[in-house]
Structures are given as structure tokens and as C-alpha cells.
Structure 1
Amino acid sequence: MGSLSSSRAAEPSHRLKHGFVLATALSPAALLLSMQPAWAQAPAPETLATQAGPDVPADGGAPSPQPVEPLPEPAPVPRTLDELIPPAAVDDPESWATLGAPDRPGVSPETGDSQPETAGNVVEMPEAGAEFLPPPAERLQPALDAAFTDFTVAVPEPLAPDPEVEALASLAQQLIGESPELEDVRVGNTLVLGFPAAPDAFPERREFIERFRELSTLRQLDGDKDGAPQVAARARADEELLGEMLRTYGYYGGEVVRQLSGGRRARGDEGDANGSVASEPSVRYDLLPGTRYAFGSINFGPLERLSETDSKRLRAAFGIAPGDPLYADRIVDRELELRVALGETGYPFATVAEPELLIDHARQEGDLTLAVEPAGQYAFGQVVSGDPSFLSGRHLARIARFAPGDIYRQSLETDLRRAIIATGLVSSVTVTPREVAPPADGEPGEVALDVDFERAPVRTIAGAIGYGTEDGFKVEGRWEHRNLFPPEGALRLRGILGTREALASIGVRRNNFRGRDQVLTADLFASDIKTLAVDSRGFGMRATFEKVSNILFQKPVSWQLGGELLYTDERNRLARNSTIQLPRQAFLIGGVFGSLTLDESDDLLDPSSGYRATMFVAPEVSRSEGREVFYLRAQADASYYKSLGAAVLAGRVRAATIQGARFFEIAPSRRLYAGGGGSVRGYGFQGVGPVNDRGEPTGGGSLVEVSVEARIETPLLGGAVEVVPFFDAGTVSLGSTPDFRFIKYGAGLGVRYKTTFGPIRVDVATPLNPGQFDSPVVVYVSLGQAF
């Protein structure tokens, strides 16, 4: 029996997946003994005597010695699974499988019964364990049978089913159903996405694809010859990415099936002519989004303690309600909107915790928790300057768009910061709300705005030098101190010296005078100017008070009021072929003026939609050679802009008149002229108008201009270049009512280069009905559109 025990210890076993054990086979007798109890496996003394051989004496005497034959050497037992697999199965598995199982020696293939050994049979192998334990003698069999008469093996009762275990098993179980019909979308040389063909199955498909194109690591390998070994490594990363994206769009039960080199859905057009898969490594992902989850409950925490009005308003600002599609991106966007709404409702110190989303797969919903701590409502108090000698708190409060006592709004705080930057006097600004009085008895608290800034350089020196076909050579210089008279009081010195112009001026300017964007200016000047039509020299003063529109704050309504006093000695320019010197005439001119502008365009320098309209009037009195003349100068401008896809159609009309005096009673510099880059292109400045018998321009008493152009986008420089064909027409009449006798036409082509501060304009124009002294081509360069 010791031999049996040691033999079992040596039997190898091979553990497979799921905990099953593969062991070597035992004969029925060995199996029976292995199931017997220990007392049954140890034979009695008399049994040992009989097992020695058939010649044992009945009285138990010493048996006669019998020769003992040596046991046969056992066959080697396989130690691993690989040893059980024959080499033929590895070399050619398909052919090996068709051979079937070989017949066991000495066993009938039909019945499994033992067969006697014949000459044609392979030598019968002994049953496993027979070499250690021979069969018992026939006369001992009844005793063995009697010993096991009452032997039974108790069969355990099956356990009662556990509902919790079954529920867990159902969650882990993969649902197998019919796959939907898929539609292929190729997003790269090595990448294909399969989407459900039904349009309602995945409505976010287009946006999903564009987003995946930007994030895919596999798509980055397109065109990379050395990228093939990396396909498999990056395929798993893209699979995880697609899963995350499905969850981002609310498909928390979605599935991504990855296939390499064609996979189970490979088509013939993806390989060679026979439909085989192409040799180039490729990856396919089948996306089965499943049911889109929805928002469940939404909890804002302390926000619920606010009044019903504020709570309802803030919930509406968040804009997500139970039942809405569960888009993760929308949570981020609406959280930002909620923060803005808190700031706009009077809660400057409110805090919003990180959102928490709890997914319930049973309900196919996500419960969102977004704890909001309002921290009390406040109203505006004082504005406190960090450098009052430079910009006082009183001045900063004047340019703010709120008054003390108004409910706090974050946008008004930001607007104040922008207004301070727009002064040009500071390089950086920080505005910090500070609690002055807490909320009490249902009334809002009070916050002061602490303004800290760094001074910018306030002195500017600028200069320019150039040459123009109309102006000749010109040198210009300017010096300015922008805060010589705080707050925002500037002094400016300006000088021009050129072929046709000389100017010297000194002026003062105060920005934000007694209100936001209101400007007060006063200038003293002396000039000597020779234009195409006028030769004038004189001096004067001019003052204006205006509410202006600028790039940062484009206003729908702006206005200007002013006055002017001017002494000038002038005459019309001589014609090029004239040798007669016209007499000069001195004029003393005084008057007031005003303008009103309505601006509903979408941009100050580069409008693409809307309109602008300006009305200007200037009653004046002129004294010359002992006579006084009263007259009214008036002008109206209107422009309209219409976007037509990749082009903007723009049109402009201008009409002007001088009422109350004949044109020759008015100083030449105050008459009406047309021509130039902002008028009728193709002609020089003041180059359009009536002329006398010697060809000298005289100016007129009325004017009409019309312009139209198309601003067409191009792909050049990323869309920054526009091509602009244009057509202009204009007329100047001697009388105060246009008679259209001197109409001039011009046309050309322009280019606009868009920059962050506005378009740079270059127009090349030609006169269509030129006069004797008009150039065949005129070029204009400026900043901003022509109108």
C-alpha cells in the first residue's frame, strides 16, 4: 500500500482556466480503492496470507516460496499541457483534426470493452495502477462486496438562490443581441469608424467625428511609414478615448468594438481584388452607443435658501433640467453661465463647488450635485483709487456706468476696468470688491471697489516723413503729455512742414470730461495750405465738446458741438496753364457747428452689417472787404452694409448744400469740393467740381456723391485678405441745389489686409471721364474702410 500512496503523490495534475483539474486516468479498481476508508484499504492478516499466492497452507503455516516477477516499467507521465499536444497538431492543425481519435489498444471502438490481444493489435497496456495493486482473489470478492454493502455517499442539497448574487451576475453578464446595421466613416488611412446607420441612433455623429479627428492618436500616424508597429499600441488608447467620448455625450451604456486589420466586418473593397484584407495595418471601431442617459435630480445645495425670485432666476441661468440629455460638456458650459448669473444678480463673493455626477444605470440617469454658496447679496458703494493724485476715485466713479446703491453686477465692474484701460494712462488695472457692510434685515450689503493700477508712460513723441503725388514731401512731428492736468488733461504740440502744407498748433484735451467718453478740446493754430483747389494761409481757434465712439466702446448715438473763429487770406489755385495771378482775399469767419451720428453697424472700422447716418449743420458769418454774409452749411451722410456669405456689399450716399449765399461770396476754403480717397476715387483731393474759363476749380454750393463696393473674402493669408471692386460717382454744382452738370465717375480695385486694429486699405482707381489735368491712375493708402 505504500507503493500506491507514493504513486498517487507522483501523479501530475494540470490546472486549467476556471479551476478545473486535468489528472491522469485511474483504473476502476484503483478509483474504487481511492474512495474507500483507511480501514478498508488495509487488508486483514488472513487476507495478507492468501495474497502471497495460491499455495498458502490452510493452518497459516509458512508458505512455500514463489518466484516474484519484476513489475514492468511505467510509461512516462506528461508533465505539461504542451507535452499532451503531438507535434502533428502544431504543424498542421486542420489535417490533424480530420484524422480523428486513434483506437485505444485492446479496447473496442464500438463498445469500449476489452479485446483479447491478437497478432494485429498493439501490445495491451496495463491499466493505470495495475502494476502496483493486482486484482483481488476471487474468493475474497464476496467479503469486499459485503464490506461496501451499506457504503453510501451523501449528495449535498442544492443551495437556495441568492437574489443579490444573481443581480451581480446579471451586471457582469455581457448582453448579446442582434448587431445594428452600421455605416462606415473613414477618418484616416488606418482608421475606420462604424456608426449605426439609423439617423436617430446617434444624432451627435458629425460633431463626434470632428472631435475624434482632433484627439485620435492613431490618426497622427497617417502617412508615417514607420507608424505600422505603433498601430496596435495606439489602438487601445483610441478605444479608451472613444469610450470616454461616448460617456461625454451621455451614452454611459455604449460599447466600442475594436478590430485590427479588417476584422469581422472587412469588405472586399478594403483589400485586393479578391476581397482579402489589405496588408497595411488598419483599425476599425464599431460604436454601439445604446441609450442616451438623461439628467436625473439636480441639487444646488445652499442655493435653495435664497428667495424664490433669485433662486428661480439662477436655476434658469443654469439651464439644465431633469430629463435633459446628459452631456458632460454642457455641465461645464452651464456652470460658467451660473457663475456669471451670480455675479450679475448681486453676489460678488459666491462660490460654486466642483460638480458631482452620480450615474444610475438602472434608471439610465445621472444625478447632478452642484453646491452653490451665494454668500449674500450686495450693492455698489464707493470707488477707491490706489493712486488718487494720478486718477482720483471721484473721477473713476464718474466714468463708471453705475451709481452707489445699485445692485452689484460683475459686468459693470469689468466695464469700469476696460474704461480705465481705455484712458491710455495705465498699463494694468485690478478691480477688487471689498465688503463694507454685510447684508442685514433682508437688505443687501455694500461693497467698495478698490482700484489698483500701474502708470503707463504719459509722454509721447511721434513723427512721420513721406511723399505723395498730391502733397509732395511732408515732415510731421507731435509731442503730447496725456495727463499734464489730472485727471486726463492732455497738452499737444503739432507741426507739419511740407511742399504744400505748413502747420503749427497747440491744443489741450480733457477726456471723460464730466461724464463717460465726453471730450473737451481747444486748439490754436496757424497754417499755410495749398490744395488742388485752394491757396490759403491764416490762423484761428477751435473748441469742441463731444461724446465720441471709439473702438472699445462703439456707441449707437454720438454727437458733437463746437465753435470756430478763423482769419484767413486765400484764393483759388491757379490753373496749370494760367499765368494770371488772382487777387488774394481776406476773410474773418466765425460760427458754431454740431453733428449727430446714429451707428447701428457691427464694427467701427470694418462693418459688415447695419447702417450709419450723420447729420452736420454749421451756421456761419463771414466778413470780407466790409461786407458780411450769413449762411448755413449742411451735410448728410448715410451708409449701409449687407453681408452676402463670403462678401459684404457696402453703399454710401452724401449730400451737402450751402444756403443763404452765392458761392463766390464764400471763402474758397469753405466751399464744397469732391474727389479723393474718401470721396470719388480716381481723382485728387478737391479735384472734382466746376472750373472757370481758365480751367481753375472754383468749388460750389451743393454736392452729391454715391459709392458702392463689394468686399470679397479670399483664402490668402488665412482669409486676412479681401479684394474690393468699387465704383464712385460725384457732382458739385455752383448753386445751392445740384444740377448734375459736372458729374465725374471713377472705378477701381482695392485690397484690404485685416489686422487686429482694423483693415489696411490700398485702392487703385482710374477716372472714367477724366479732365485735362487728371492722372490716369491714383493710389490711396489708409487705415479702415473707405466708408
Structure 2
Amino acid sequence: MRRWTRPLLCLCLVLGGNAAEGADPVNYNVSFAPSGDGGLDGLMKQTSSLVSLQKKLPPAPFALIGRARTDETHFITVLHALGYDAGTAKITIDGMSLNDPALLDHLTRLPQGSQAKVAISTQKGALFSLGQVNITGLPAGFKPHPGIRTGQPATAAPILAVPAKLTTDLQNAGYAFAIVAPPYAVANEATHTLNVSYSVTPGPRVDIGAVSFSGLTRTDPAFLARHIRLRQGQPYSDKAVQQARDSLLGLGVFSSVTAVPATQAVSGQVPISFHVTEQKLHAVTLSGAYATDLGVSIGTSWENRNLFGHAETLTLSVAANGLGGTGTTAPGYDIKGVFTKPDYYVRGQTLTLSAEGLQQSLTAYRRTGIIIGGSLSRPITAHTAITYGPSFTTERVDQEGVARSYVLAQFPINFTWDTSNSLLEPTRGHKLSLTITPTMPVVGTPHDPFVILQGTGSVYFPVERKAWGVVALHGVLGSIQGASQFGVPADQRFYAGGSGTVRGYTYQTIGPLFADDTPQGGLALDAINLEFRQHITKSIGIVPFIDAGQVSAGSAPFKGTLRVGAGLGARYYTSIGPIRVDFALPLKRTPGSSAFGLYIGLGEAF
């Protein structure tokens, strides 16, 4: 009979006893006899104090014997933890049992420079399986799902995990004060089974009580109460409480949120208090990136995180770009203001208003414009969302010495499906984005209306333990329908080359060209990127990659001239994401493209 929750005592032995007093430390080596279970052998070596302390702290003779006794007891715990409840472990030193009264004198008299031989052997015996699993004290109508079943190997981890799982399940069913005692296990050596019992004290079934907030300085508590899906009188659920906490953190207003249910019910209800710490109201950020084609980009932004007390944000940013790039003809700028309001009329729906002034001087065209837009974004499911809203652009575009002015009315509709596990360093899952942008030229050079269709997708496959090796695949597909190539403003056409499509080629140099090799831009785009992201150390990685893509003058994809680039990247992994440096070569240079491309930024390429 044994209890799984009996703690493992760590014995710290000091030099003592007349026989060992003043004795020199004993050097020793350790050998393990194979048990036939590689997992057991590995765990014994990893947890052995004889192994871990061998070089760090040479022991005196008495301490070596004590260290070995500690390991011998510990190995029994390891055997039980892996389901070998009848297993035994034996340790000898120079062939002598630890209980041999002559062992201490033998170690004391070892010649200087000699090594004692510590031999460890285990007899694992039969692998025990779970017999009866008894759970007593459950409330009427509650069906338990302990996560273990009769017949499975009687390993410790799943057996010890049952109390926490049952407690969580009971709390989610309204039993806020449920207590599940540690398991009581009885081994039957005749049948090689382990019978396990759990005792449950469910307590009363309760509801959510009054919800309150503490620590607020600027935020309206009435807004927070509407924002969280937690209402007084609904059945108590720990999951619902934690979801409310996560939704508060997602507002971006708080640096910490702690949900504190009351320790006892009041009239059958449990009051919930959320203790919050508000972030600083204002934040200033600096940003920078470099690419050989687009040059240096530097910017700064100022943000108010809680403008009117309802988690509204106002972000003002300014950036200089196109500094020294091979694909630019002069420096440009981008000045932008963005206002967001969460829970706009409907919980989860976000209103975004933006105004932007920019100037771009690229190889294909020079553009100066103002863009004003508004959009609504809301989740559809936990991983999908839709964003839609109008935007208006007034701009002047110069291409091939011809200047044209436009006023465009657009209504982009975007659908996203994202199951990836990180924004800056995804290692599993996928991302999918589909955008439809109906466009109507309303003032200026007359053009037919057209629709821009574009889809992007990424998928990530971890191929090594802890995702130290990840295969990443990315694709882009676009088409413009409703107008001819030159019936679409130059800045609205598709271009390829550079970090967004095919690295190694200068931005805009893939696709149809004018007679002087200036990029025309096209009505269709397709590109694919393949990377293998390999950690070398915890903070250093390398990324070999290959890209391919094309742009065609017509609106049908896959009909241009395919261009391929390949290269190698380096990564320095930080707490805010990887710092990325990619070096790429075009397999066949196009007119106007550089011989190589260098790209530096924060976060993965996709």
C-alpha cells in the first residue's frame, strides 16, 4: 500500500562519525545496468544525485554511502512513477552492499587517486496497469471524466492529474468550492494492478454573484461590466471567470488582471472581484527596418491607450522611408492617425477610423496621396474574423512622365482565419486572409470601376521537439477584374520582388516592363515562399529559403514569367520576437534588379 502524494525526502548528509572524520573525499564512477526500458534508464540517470553531484561535490566516505542510500530510495519512487510497482533497485560500491558493515572502512582506506566503482541495477518487474478507479462523493447527475481508465499503464502523472481535472470540471459545473482529495492507491502484486480511489467534497452548487472591479483610475467600470460575458445570477463557471479575465487583458488597457472569487457564497451566489493594474496612459515607440531595394525606414509613434475611458486608442505615427534603396528614386514619408473604439454597438466589434498622408518615390511610379477610411471588425468564431468599411483616396500618380490625379472610393471586405500560435514567431497552425476591394474612380482621370481580389495563406509545421525546426510555407494570389491594365491606377496594380514576394529581386522588377525597363505593374500576381526555420541555440537560428513568383499584364494568374530567388537568413530570438536578417540572390536577374537583396526587420518574413 502506498500514497502517491508522499513527498520525496531529500537527505543532505554531512561528514560525521569517528571512522570517517578527516577522511579524504572519495572519487567514484557510476555505471547503470540496462533495465530493458530506455525511458526508465534515462529518468534514473537524470534524477540521480550520484550522477549530478559526481564532479561538483566529491563526498567523504560516509557521505558517499548516504548519497547512494538516497538514490536507492529515490529509484523506487521512479519505478513506481512509471508503473513498476513491484520493482526493486540495488546499489553496490566496489561490489559491496550498502548495508555491509565493512564498507565504510573500505572506503576510508582507499588509496589516494583511486576510484570507487558504484554499480546500479534495477529489477523492474511487471508493468502494473490500472485496476478499479473509484470516485466517491460526486454530486447527483454529475458525470466525471477523470482522464484515466481501467487497463491503462499505472504511471503516476495521469493518476496525480485527476484531482485537478475533477476540481476544474466541478467548478465549471457550478461547484465553486469543490475539493478533491489526493489519490489513494493500493497495489495488488498478484494481479499486477493498481486500484485508485478519489474522494470528492463538492460543496453547494452556486451562481455568479455581484461583479466588481478594483484598481481602476481612468477606465469606466460600467463599460467593463458590459464588456465581460459575466452576469450576476448565471451558473458559476471557472471557465467563464477566466474568459472574462482574458477579455479584460485583451483590451490593452491593463498590465495585469486577477480574478478573485469570494471564499464563500452569499445567498447561493459567489461575488467576483477583478483586481486590475492599468498600463501607463501614453506610449512612445520607435521602429526601423532595412532592405536593399526599399532602403532604410525609420518611424516613431505616440499612443493614448484609453482616450475616453472605454479602452479607445489614438495612435499618431510618422515615418520616413525609401532612404537609399535601389528600388526607390527619392525619400518618402508616411504620416498617419488611427482611432479605435472596441465594443462599438456590439460586444467584440471594433470601429477603426484612420487618416493618412504619404509620398512614395518608387522605380515604377511616384505617388502623393491622402487616404481616409473607416472600418468595422468583429470576430465570427474564435479563429475567424471579418473586417469591412469604406475608404477614400485622393492622389497624384506619375508614371513614365505622365501625371494623373485620382479620387478613388473603395470598400474592402477582408476575411481572416488564423490558428497560428504567435504573431511574430509562429511555429504551428495556419493563417488565411481573403480580401475583396471594389473600387470606383469618382473624380479625375476617367476609368472603369474594378475589383481587386487577393488571398494570402501561411502554414507552419514543427518538425523537431520544442519546435526548434519549423517548415513554413506562404502563398499569395491576386487578380484585378473589370478594367484593362492601364485602366487601373499604377499604384493599385500588382508588383513583385522583395521581402513580400520574391526575395533577391528588387521590389517591382518582376512583371511586365516598359521599353525603358520601368515596371508597368500587372493585373495578376502569384508567389510562393518556402522556409526551414532551424534553431541552433535558444537565441540563434538559421533559415534557408526559396521564393518564386510572377506578375502578368492580364487578370489571370500563373501566366507571367516565373522568377525564383533563394537565400539564407539568420535569426536572433528575443522576448519581443526574432530579429530577422535575410540574404537572397535572384536565380536570373531582371532588368533594374540588384545582384542580391538584404532584409533586416523584426519578426519572421511571414
TM band (smaller chain): 0.7 to 0.9
Tell me the TM-score normalized by structure 2.
0.80
Give the deviation of 1:516 after TM superposition.
Answer: 5.4
Q: Tell me which of 442, 446, 464 is aligned to 1:627.
A: 446
Deviations 1:737-773 (A, max 9, x none): 3573444322212233444444433211112222332
Q: Given the alignment, which residue of 408, 418, 435 partners 1:599?
A: 418
What is the match of residue 539 of structure 1? Answer: 370
Provide the rounded CA distance (Å) in 2 between the counterparts of 1:383 and 1:669: 52
- Deviation at residue 399 of structure 1 after TM alignment: 4.0
Aligned pairs for 1:762-781 (under 5 A) are 762-781=581-600
Deviates most, 459-468 or 765-774: 459-468
Uncovered stretches (5+) of structure 2, i.e. residues with no partner: 1-26, 98-112, 324-330
Distance change (3 Å), C-alpha of 1:382 and 1:564: farther
Match of 2:394 in 1: 567
Deviation, structure 1 residue 657: 1.9
Cα-to-partner distance string for 1:660-702 (whole Å, 9 max, x where unaligned): 2222232221122112201111123333232212222222222
- Written as runs of structure 1 = structure 2, the 5 A alignment for 1:328-727 is 328-356=156-184, 370-380=198-208, 383-386=211-214, 390-401=218-229, 406-434=234-262, 445-464=268-287, 469-472=292-295, 474-497=297-320, 499=323, 500-515=331-346, 517-547=348-378, 555-572=382-399, 582-601=401-420, 603-625=422-444, 627-645=446-464, 647-707=469-529, 709-714=530-535, 716-718=536-538, 720-727=539-546
CA 1:459–1:237: 2 relative to 1, 3 Å: same
Secondary structure of the corresponding residue to residue 413 of structure 1: helix
| Aligned-partner SS, 1:236 | helix
Given residue 604 of structure 2, which amino acid in structure 1 is its aligned partner?
Q
Deviates more, 1:525-534 or 1:223-232: 223-232
Instruction: Show the counterpart of 2:13.
Output: none
The reply to whether residue 209 of structure 1 matches residue 35 of structure 2 is: no
More strand by share: 2
Paired residues in the alignment total 553
Paired residue for 1:734? Answer: 553
Distance across 2 between alignment mates of 1:603 and 1:504: 28
Query: In the aligned structure 1, how far is the partner of 2:439 from the partner of 2:470?
Result: 39
Q: What one-letter code is carried by the residue in structure 2 that aligns with 1:717?
A: T
> Which residue identity lines up with residue 118 of structure 2 in the other structure?
V
**Secondary structure of 1:690 counterpart:** coil
Aligned position for 2:601: 782
d(CA) in 2 for partners of 1:497 and 1:214? 55
Quote the offset at 1:585 in angstroms.
Answer: 1.6
On the 8 A contact 2:454/2:476 being kept in 1, the answer is yes
For 2:554, give the aligned amino acid. Answer: G
TM-score (norm 1): 0.63
Shift of 1:451: 1.4
- On the 8 A contact 1:711/1:722 being kept in 2, the answer is no
Q: How much is the aligned-residue C-alpha RMSD, in angstroms?
A: 3.6
Q: 1:432 to 1:749 in 2, by over 3 A?
A: same
Summarize the Cα distance change of 1:216–1:663 in structure 2 as closer, same or farther, 3 Å threshold.
same
Provide structure 1 residue ranges, at least 5 long, that are not aligned to the other structure: 1-187, 200-204, 265-277, 440-444, 575-581
Residue in 2 that maps onto 1:116 = none
Deviates more, 1:222-231 or 1:496-505: 222-231
Partners in 2 of 1:357 and 1:592 — Cα distance? 65
Is this contact kept in 1: 2:498–2:597, CA < 8 A? no
Alignment CA distance shift 1:407-1:741 (3 Å): same
Match of 1:18 in 2: none
The answer as to 2:571 corresponding to 1:752 is yes
Whichever structure has more helix as a proportion of its residues is 1
Query: What amino acid is the match of 1:615?
Result: L
- The 1:362/1:748 distance shift into structure 2, 3 A limit, reads closer
Q: Which amino acid aligns with 1:463?
A: L
Deviation of 1:426 (Å): 1.4
Go from structure 1 to structure 2 and tell me whether the alpha carbon gap of 1:642 and 1:320 turns closer, same or farther (over 3 Å shift): closer
Measured at CA, do residues 650 and 380 of structure 1 come closer, stay the same or move farther in structure 2, by a change above 3 Å? same
The question of whether the paired residues in 1 share the 8 Å contact of 2:531 and 2:546 is answered with no
Aligned CA distance change for structure 1 residues 767 and 254 (closer, same or farther; 3 Å): closer
Deviations 1:27-80 (A, max 9, x none): xxxxxxxxxxxxxxxxxxxxxxxxxxxxxxxxxxxxxxxxxxxxxxxxxxxxxx
- The answer for the alignment partner of 1:220 in structure 2 is 52
Q: Work out the CA distance in 2 between the residues paired with 1:465 and 1:296.
A: 62
By how many angstroms is 1:286 displaced? Answer: 4.0
Q: Are residue 280 (structure 1) and residue 115 (structure 2) matched?
A: yes
Equivalent residue letter for 1:217: S
Which whole-Å CA distance do the structure 1 matches of 2:545 and 2:89 have between them? Answer: 57
Bigger radius of gyration among the two: 1
Cα distance in 2 for partners of 1:210, 1:488 equals 52
Letter in 1 for 2:245: R
Return closer, same or farther for 1:263/1:703 CA change in 2, 3 Å cut-off.
Answer: same
Confirm or deny: 8 A CA contact 2:525 2:558 kept in the other structure: no
**One-letter identity of the residue aligned with 1:534:** Y
1:568 aligned partner, one-letter code: E
2: CA distance, partners of 1:364 / 1:680 = 62
Give, as a single letter, the amino acid of the residue that structure 2 aligns with 1:564. Answer: S
Q: Equivalent residue for 2:16?
A: none
Q: Is the 8 A contact 1:385 1:392 kept in 2?
A: no
Q: Secondary structure at the match of 1:634?
A: strand
Whether the 8 Å CA contact 1:428–1:453 is kept in 2: the answer is: yes
Take 2:521 and 2:390, find their aligned partners in 1: how far apart are those partners? Answer: 24
Conserved? CA contact 1:383–1:396, under 8 Å: no
Please say if 1:191 is aligned against 2:36: no
- Looking at structure 1, the residues matched to 347 and 576 of structure 2 have their Cα atoms a distance apart, in angstroms, of 22
Which secondary structure does the structure 1 equivalent of 2:397 belong to? strand
Q: Encode CA deviations 1:159-178: one digit per residue, 9 max, x unaligned.
A: xxxxxxxxxxxxxxxxxxxx
> Given that residues 447 and 487 in structure 2 are in contact (C-alpha distance below 8 angstroms), is that contact kept between their aligned partners in structure 1?
no
> Does the Cα contact within 8 Å between 1:398 and 1:514 map onto a contact in 2?
no
Q: Is the 8 A contact 1:231 1:282 kept in 2?
A: no
Aligned 8 A contact 1:263 1:284 in 2:
no
Cα–Cα, structure 1 residues 510 and 687, in superposed 2: closer, same or farther, change >3 Å?
farther
Matched ranges for 1:233-382 at <5 A: 233-249=66-82, 254-263=87-96, 280-289=115-124, 300=135, 303-304=137-138, 306-307=139-140, 309-310=141-142, 313-314=143-144, 316-317=145-146, 319=148, 327-356=155-184, 370-380=198-208
Separation in 2, partners of 1:327, 1:699: 63
* Partner SS, residue 247 of structure 2: helix
| Contact in 2 for aligned 1:585/1:624 (Cα 8 Å) | no
Identity of aligned residues (%): 25
**Residues 1:217 and 1:650: Cα distance change in structure 2 (over 3 Å):** closer
Q: Contact 2:375–2:387 at 8 Å: present in 1 too?
A: yes
Q: How many angstroms does 1:544 deviate by?
A: 1.5
SS at match of 1:449: strand
Structure 1 CA distance for aligned equivalents of residues 290 and 32 of structure 2: 63
Describe the superposition over 1:702-744 as per-residue Cα deviations: whole angstroms up to 9, x where unpaired.
222233x241534x224x5443322222222223235734443
Q: Are residues 292 and 627 of structure 1, via their aligned partners in 2, closer, same or farther at CA, if it must alter by over 3 Å?
A: closer
State the 1:224 CA deviation: 6.7
- CA offset at residue 524 of structure 1? 1.9
Q: Is the 8 A contact 2:526 2:558 kept in 1?
A: no
Where 1:584 maps in the other structure, the secondary structure is strand
